[in-house]
Every structure is written in C-alpha cells, then in structure tokens.
Amino acid sequence: MSGTTDKIKGLANEATGNIKQGVGNVTGDEKLKADGKVQELKGEAQQAVGDTKNTVKDAANKHL
C-alpha cells in the first residue's frame, strides 16, 4: 500500500471514529464511544505510517 493510500484510509478511520464517539456521547453508549476512540487512534496510526512511507520514498528518490 502506498503512503498516500495509508493516509487516506487513516483519515477515513479517524473521521468514522470521531462520529462514533459523538453518537456514543449523545446516546450514552459507552461501548460505541470506546470503539470510536479505538478507530480514531487506528486512523492516526495509519496516517503516521503513510507519512513515514512518503518520507522514505522521497529520501530514496533524492539519492538516485
């Protein structure tokens, strides 16, 4: 998977996680809030992986 793909999937997971947390707050559903937080953190990690892949790719291209 490319760095850009990782970043896009990460943004989607982060947004979905935030929505789940919001719905969980409104409905008082603690499990939904927790699931949303986990998904948000997963998204943040995916974005970090994407950034790292892009940085490595850019560095490799500069040395060619």
Q: Exposure string (b/e) for 11-45, b if CB count within 10 Å is 16 or more?
A: eebbebbeebbeebeeeeeeebbebbeebbebbee
pTM of the complete model: 0.85
Dihedral angle over CA of 45, 47, 48, 52, nearest 10: 140
The pair of three-digit structure tokens given for residue 34, joined into one six-digit string? 């927790």
Domain count, the chain: 1
Q: Which domain holds residue 23?
A: 3-62
| Nearest partner of 40 among 17, 24, 6, 7, judged by Cα | 17
For each of the chain's 64 residues, which pLDDT tens digit applies?
799 999 999 999 999 999 999 999 999 999 999 999 999 999 999 999 999 999 999 999 887 7
